[in-house]
Amino acid sequence: MAGADGVEKLEDGIVRSAEQVAAQIRAAKDAISTVIFGQDRVIENTLVTILSGGHALLIGVPGLAKTKLVETLGITLGLDAKRIQFTPDLMPSDILGAEVLDESSAGKRSFRFISGPVFAQLLMADEINRASRAPSPRCCRRCRNSTSRWPARATICRSRSTCWRRKIRWSRKAPTRSRRRSSTAS
């Protein structure tokens, strides 16, 4: 009989914990919904993505609050959220960070590593299809692993991050300029 009471108490504790987590998730969803309107399904899917430790690709036309959603998730959940704007001139050091030479007031010089946005817990890789081929794989590799390599050292990240990649949806009906060559008859 004593063993059965212990199992019932354990089950009750698990049920209470699950109910508390469900209440916290509902509270987070409600808090996010006060900033992001009309995107309930997207908010639910993003919360599932974060809870499962996965990554997401947000695709859509401009103005659907994709970047604002990631910012709001970071604020609401208390996560370190960063954003990388992918442009054709993006360098790998813009993602990973860089070592800088510091000089103290006594004149002593030393190198200090300034970590880039890829070391955040929540990363928004914005307009990832605009970048050159070099930085994109580094960003995606970092999102899969919890370790990033820097020359002569491996940097262990605080926790595995969730990466939100956003692609630009190009309009297929973009206006095109037709340049006609005018020929003049002499």
User: Which candidate, 167, 147, 172, 174, places its Cα nearest to that of 159?
Assistant: 147
pLDDT at 83: 86
Q: Please give the helix or strand (H or E) that residue 62 lies within, else none.
A: none
Residue with tokens 């790998």: 92
The pLDDT mean for the chain works out to 75
Question: What pLDDT, on the 0 to 100 scale, is given for residue 28?
Answer: 94
**pLDDT at 152 exceeding the cut of 60:** no
Token reading at 34: 């006060």
Paired tokens of 57: 């690709």
Q: How far apart are CA 113 and CA 92, in angstroms?
A: 14
Q: What is the pTM of this model?
A: 0.66
What proportion of the chain, given as a percentage, has pLDDT over 90?
Answer: 22
